[in-house]
Amino acid sequence: MKRNSIFERTAGWYESAANAVNVVLNLIILCSIGVQVIMRTLFDMPLKFPEEVSIFALIALIYSGVGIVERHEEYLRVEVFQSLMPRKLQNCLQLLGKAMLLVLIFGILQGEIAIFPSISMLKTKAAKIPYSWLHGWIILCTVIWGFWVLADAVLMVKRIKQTGRAEIADEEEE
């Protein structure tokens, strides 16, 4: 694929935006916990909202990174056993893994969409954060994650047809 393709430019834009959002989310977690520690330690006045805010930010942080992790294939995986298998079986397992991820993503989206109407008006108790913000973010990030999984599966099939390998070969092996 060309380096300046629309796919690569979109991916670069998304990664830049997600990284900026992740920096903000990390700062929110740090500041909310820091304020809680200061208020509890110095003034013996624990606040009610920092735990809610930091949990929301942490969940949003996790979901905003899943698309990037999938695109770069940086997730945890067991490769030792897979490398001992015949090439065709390795290819089948990798494609099966992508299919399973798509089923998982579909399940997450189905669940999120199903509960969205019932939580759309709910807010956290202390910080009054609307649950719809977090669930909307989860839906958006899961759709992006699904896009990367689907795109990678299509490219994987194309690589299998061209090279007989599902994964991109290392430069040393070429």
Helices in the chain by DSSP H: which ranges?
6-43, 50-72, 80-83, 87-119, 131-163
Predicted pLDDT at 171? 43
Predicted pLDDT at 78? 55
Predicted pLDDT at 110? 94
40, 59, 118, 174 from 36: Cα distances, Å:
6, 19, 31, 54
Predicted pLDDT at 15? 87
d(CA 2, CA 22): 28
> pTM of this prediction?
0.70
pLDDT along the chain (174 residues), means of 10: 74 87 90 90 89 91 84 65 75 87 92 91 90 93 94 91 77 42
d(CA 87, CA 169): 13
Q: Are 54 and 30 in contact (CB under 8 A)?
A: no
Q: Which two tokens stand for residue 172?
A: 């040393």
Computed over every residue of the chain, the mean pLDDT equals 85
